[in-house]
Structure 1
Amino acid sequence: MALHSLRFRLVDSPSSFGAKRRARRAAWLSDTFPDLAEMNVLDLGGRVESWAKVPVRPAHVHVVNLEPLPTELPDWAEADHADACELPKRILGRRYDLVFSNSVLEHVGGYERRRRMAEAIRELAPEYWVQTPYRYFPIEPHWVAPAMQFLPVSARVVVARKWPLAYTPGKSYEAAMRQVLTTELIGRAELRYLFPDAGIRNERLLGLTKSLIAIRKSSSV
């Protein structure tokens, strides 16, 4: 069996181990925020279709993403094409019950942009949930490559182009470089600094911290 097919079976398919981990995380979210079904949620960097699959769906979800917008939306959702680090005034002027972000913080492009995104998250709602892969987990999760995050940029580009467990092995040098330069895993100290009013939850795999979740509940504000 080709390694790329193995990646699909382990990470990307609806019945994969990765899908089961995502379902578990969705259950954590609803357990953490018992009123989720009545909430107005801002999702920075997510997709509307992801919310259609969760066991508990918020009353309203506003998705903000740089990807093309869906052509049709359910009545419980809205979507905007915008940068999570440079939100337009029409969004910054609103208030939500919860801001949600999953595996986005590591892609926004450096510390200063992460800081701006974190500031917006902390201002837009009394509660938030921000998940990001942990820098010191031994497997880089986007390419499923051991210790890739600790390599020099030039070596990471080679891995991005050649490693068979990558999403799209064989991509051009320019595309691989862009992807590498916009994927920067962060550690616990930076996450605590960005979200000083949050508790940090560990998501573990085989006893090791795989990702971190910064959580603020209104009772802890």
Structure 2
Amino acid sequence: MGLHALRFRLVDSPTSLGAKRRALRAAWLSDTFPSLADMTVLDLGGRVESWAHVAVRPAHVHVVNLEPLPTDLPDWAEADQADACELPKSILSRDYDLVFSNSVLEHVGGHERRRRMAEAIRGLGRAYWVQTPYRYFPVEPHWVAPGMQFLPVSARVVMARRWPLAYSPGKSYAAAIRQVLTTELIGRTELRYLFPDAVIRNERLLGLTKSIIAIRRQ
């Protein structure tokens, strides 16, 4: 089996370990918020299709993403193309039952932008759930590379281009360094600082903390 096929089986396929972990996280979300099916949810950095297949779907989901968004939306969803760290007034003036963000905080571009995103999250939602991969888990999750997050930028760029378990090995230097510089894992101390009114929970794999989640209930 090629290593790229191995990555698909471990992370990307519908039956992969990664998919099973995402399903468990969705179940944890619905257990944490028993009224989720009746909630209005703002999803920063997510995708509408991710909510179409969960066991418990909120009454209304508003997805905000920098990526181009689908125009054909189900009646329970809306979508806007915007920066989660610089949300437009049309979104900031609204109120949501829950603000949700999954594996986005580490990609927004440095502590100051993370602080802005956190400030918006805390102000927009009565409750929130913000998940991010844990910096000190031994395997960097985006490249499935042991210890990659602790290497100098130059070494991470080489791995982003050549590591066979990356999403697309062989990419250009410009694409690799852009991806490396916009992927910055954080630890519990910074997450507590960004969300001082939250409970920080650990998502574990083989007894080790794989991701950390800041949660504020209603």
- After TM superposition, the score normalised by the length of structure 1 is 0.98
User: Cα deviations across residues 64-91 of structure 1 (Å, max 9, x unaligned)?
Assistant: 0000110210000000000000000000
Name structure 2 gaps, 5 residues minimum: none
SS of match in other structure, 1:78? strand
TM-superposed deviation, 1:152? 0.3
**Could you say which residue in structure 2 is the equivalent of 1:58?**
58
Does 2:27 align with 1:30?
no
Q: Are 2:167 and 1:167 equivalent residues in the alignment?
A: yes
- Partner residue in 2 for 1:141: 141
The one-letter code of the counterpart of 2:115 is R
* 1:195 alignment counterpart: 195
Cα shift readout 1:143-181 (whole Å, capped 9, x = no counterpart):
000000000000000000000000000000000000000
Q: Which amino acid aligns with 1:126?
A: R
Could you tell me the percent identity over the aligned residues? 85
How far does residue 126 in structure 1 lie from its aligned partner after superposition? 1.1
Aligned position for 2:181? 181
Other structure's SS at 1:97 match: strand
Cα separation, 1, equivalents of 2:56 and 2:33 = 10
**TM-align CA RMSD:** 0.3
Corresponding residue of 1:151: 151
CA distances 1:96-130 after superposition (whole Å, capped 9, x unpaired): 00000000000000000000000000000110000
1:76 aligns with 2:80: no
Aligned length: 218
Opposite residue 40 of structure 2, the aligned amino acid is N
Partner Cα separation in structure 2 for residue 35 and residue 116 of structure 1: 28
Give secondary structure in 1 for the equivalent of 2:131.
Answer: strand
> Deviations along 1:33-60, whole A, 9 cap, x unmatched?
0000000000000000000010000000
Amino acid at match of 2:175: A
The whole-number CA distance in structure 1 between the counterparts of 2:9 and 2:159 is 21
**What are the equivalent positions in structure 2 for 1:85-164 lying under 5 Å apart?**
85-164=85-164
Give 3-state SS (helix, strand or coil) of 1:120's partner.
helix
